[in-house]
């Protein structure tokens, strides 16, 4: 890499250009100058892949209390009730923000259209362009950000280190991926908005950018990382030979889509009383069991009984994508499989998006605010971005000095520095396969132990990173290790975390697993709170 160059100072530095980064930037610009760093183009985000929409209690038939109860129920005992209360009660105001920014939500007879998704008791999902909600939000916000004179956007600029002084964040070190120069940007307010980590798995709905960068950055800086065992697997991703995996929104089942096996039988009632509208973790595991029982590698989602006009209008992206690959979903079943989708855990924050490092905030999927618990309620993720993003900016403007307290109960995370004899070469492909097979939908102690040892060995063998691929593989190995160790520690099944050797939930595990980098050379600290 070329020599270090010092960049100028900003009031806010935001790492990431999805809805979290853009929304926070548009709010923050009212109080200062903002820098957005993104390792790809501003259009390369997970946001545009969000088909379902945003959950909010805006109907006369709904209420924040009902939304609260649905969220708590889906979270399998690990939601933070106060965080969920904040989420549901501030939802309507944050939807108004998007309307003010110009997001074109779909309407019926002049009212915002609402649909229902699994585990929601009433229709409360707002959508835009049918199943193009994420894309419409992303385009609207990115256009506004580009026009702002107070927002600087640096594309193809990968953040590689958080700069700290006396426990306070003071800036970010980054590499310009085109010139290869290393730059420093200064600010006493840094917001991580880097999205998820779905690319750690071979079968995923996530784009290539989702490599867990923000979690790795935060962990190396000493931030607390929590709930890493809770990776959500979406039940329905398109499975066609030679065709890239493509998300089939849960809203398709909300509109009446039915899951069938190879023989055409509806099978979900065998596994859950809610049938096709059971929570995602139950549906995903049910699909795995049904495929194993029938000896097939897919099941089918059937919408052929619904009006063709409804399908093409309500799900234009899905309809067109399938049609472009030779499948007319109005007359043929959709072959689907479960896929890695969304991380419920991440950088631990309080109710204002603050981490345990002064001046460092986390927003969106990279953050763990406490609202999702062990199993995210569908379409709460985009809402979480808005509610807590607003709070982050308010807190940052007012001065960040509150730090989440550390857990008191401490266990030592295995350093695994004596592992020898594993010859598997480290690569993205090998890591994706390892995580999918051993830390996927069904887990066991043996497979998790094997994975933790392999990742620890790979981590020690990595060369110093110097470009995007080498930084990404280093981040993926670290984040994968945090996930495997957390899943190994939690000896029960809860929400999206399922252990075949501990298939039941236990009251002893209504608590969280928190990792924080140790100050000594013997490894990291794992705290159970």
Q: Which residues are catalytic?
A: 280
Closest CA to 116 of 75, 61, 79: 61
Place of tokens 């004596």: 418
| Rg (alpha carbons) of the chain, rounded to whole number | 22
The answer to whether 229 and 513 are in contact (CB under 8 A) is yes
Q: How far is the C-alpha of 165 from the C-alpha of 304, rounded, in Å?
A: 60
Q: Which long-range contacts (CB under 8 A, 24 or more apart) does 420-423 make?
A: 420/457, 422/453, 422/454, 422/457
CB atoms within 10 A of CB 25: 29
CB atoms within 10 A of CB 411: 12
The answer to whether 175 and 161 are in contact (CB under 8 A) is no
Q: How far is the C-alpha of 303 from the C-alpha of 331, rounded, in Å?
A: 8
C-alpha distance from residue 493 to each of 96, 120, 243, 527 (Å): 38, 22, 33, 19
Three-state DSSP state, 356 = coil
Q: How far is the C-alpha of 472 from the C-alpha of 56, rounded, in Å?
A: 35
The set of residues, in sequence order, having a beta carbon less than 8 Å from that of 60 and lying 6+ positions away, is none
Q: Does the CA dihedral 508-514-519-520 come out positive or negative?
A: positive
The answer to whether 412 and 526 are in contact (CB under 8 A) is yes
Three-state DSSP state, 514 = strand
The answer to whether 173 and 183 are in contact (CB under 8 A) is yes
Closest CA to 25 of 193, 188, 178: 193
C-alpha distance from residue 200 to each of 40, 226, 257, 434 (Å): 18, 18, 29, 9
The DSSP 8-state label assigned to residue 249 in this structure reads -
The set of residues, in sequence order, having a beta carbon less than 8 Å from that of 134 and lying 6+ positions away, is 19, 46, 47, 48, 49, 50, 51, 382
The answer to whether 265 and 290 are in contact (CB under 8 A) is no
């Amino acid at each position: 890499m070329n020599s270090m160059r010092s960049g100028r100072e900003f009031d806010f530095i935001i790492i990431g250009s999805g809805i979290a980064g853009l929304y926070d930037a548009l709010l923050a610009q009212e109080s200062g100058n903002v820098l957005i760093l993104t390792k790809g183009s501003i259009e390369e985000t997970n946001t545009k892949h969000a088909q379902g929409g945003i959950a909010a209690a805006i109907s006369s038939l709904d209420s924040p209390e009902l939304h609260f109860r649905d969220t708590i129920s889906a979270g399998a005992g690990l939601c933070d009730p106060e965080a969920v209360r904040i989420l549901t009660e501030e939802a309507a105001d944050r939807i108004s923000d998007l309307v003010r920014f110009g997001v074109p939500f779909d309407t019926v007879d002049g009212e915002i259209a609402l649909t229902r998704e699994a585990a929601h008791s009433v229709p409360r999902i707002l959508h835009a362009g049918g199943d193009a909600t994420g894309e419409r939000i992303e385009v609207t916000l990115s256009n506004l950000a580009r026009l702002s004179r107070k927002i600087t956007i640096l594309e193809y600029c990968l953040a590689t280190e958080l700069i700290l002084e006396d426990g306070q964040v003071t800036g970010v070190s980054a590499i310009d991926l085109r010139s290869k120069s290393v730059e420093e940007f200064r600010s006493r307010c840094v917001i991580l908005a880097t999205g998820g980590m779905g690319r750690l798995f071979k079968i995923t709905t996530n784009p290539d950018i989702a490599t867990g960068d923000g979690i790795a950055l935060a962990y190396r800086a000493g931030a607390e990382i929590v709930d890493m065992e809770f990776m959500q697997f979406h039940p329905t991703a398109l499975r066609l030979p030679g065709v890239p995996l493509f998300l089939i929104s849960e809203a398709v089942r909300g509109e009446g889509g039915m899951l069938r096996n190879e023989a055409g039988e509806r099978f979900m009632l065998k596994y859950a009383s809610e049938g096709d509208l059971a929570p995602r973790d139950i549906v995903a595991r049910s699909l795995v069991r049904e495929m194993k029982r029938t000896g097939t590698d897919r099941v089918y989602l059937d919408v052929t009984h619904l009006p063709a006009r409804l399908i093409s209008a309500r799900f234009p992206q899905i309809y067109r994508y399938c049609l472009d690959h030779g499948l007319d979903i109005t007359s043929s079943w959709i072959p689907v499989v479960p896929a890695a989708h969304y991380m419920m855990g991440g950088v631990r924050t309080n109710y204002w998006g603050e981490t345990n490092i002064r001046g460092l905030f986390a927003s969106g999927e990279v953050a763990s605010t406490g609202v999702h618990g062990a199993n995210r309620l569908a379409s709460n993720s985009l809402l979480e971005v808005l509610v807590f993003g607003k709070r982050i900016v308010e807190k940052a403007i007012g001065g960040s000095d509150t730090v989440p307290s550390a857990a008191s109960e401490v266990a030592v995370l295995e350093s695994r520095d004596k592992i020898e004899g594993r010859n598997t070469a480290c690569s993205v492909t090998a890591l994706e396969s390892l995580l999918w097979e051993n830390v996927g939908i069904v887990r066991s102690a043996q497979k998790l132990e094997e994975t933790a040892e392999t990742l620890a060995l790979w981590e020690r063998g990595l060369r110093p990173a110097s470009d995007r691929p080498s930084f990404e593989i280093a981040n993926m190995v670290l984040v994968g290790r945090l996930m495997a160790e957390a899943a190994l520690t939690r000896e029960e099944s809860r929400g999206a975390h399922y252990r075949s050797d501990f298939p039941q939930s236990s009251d002893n595990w209504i608590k969280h697993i928190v990792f924080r980098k140790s100050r000594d050379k013997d490894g990291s600290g794992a705290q159970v709170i």
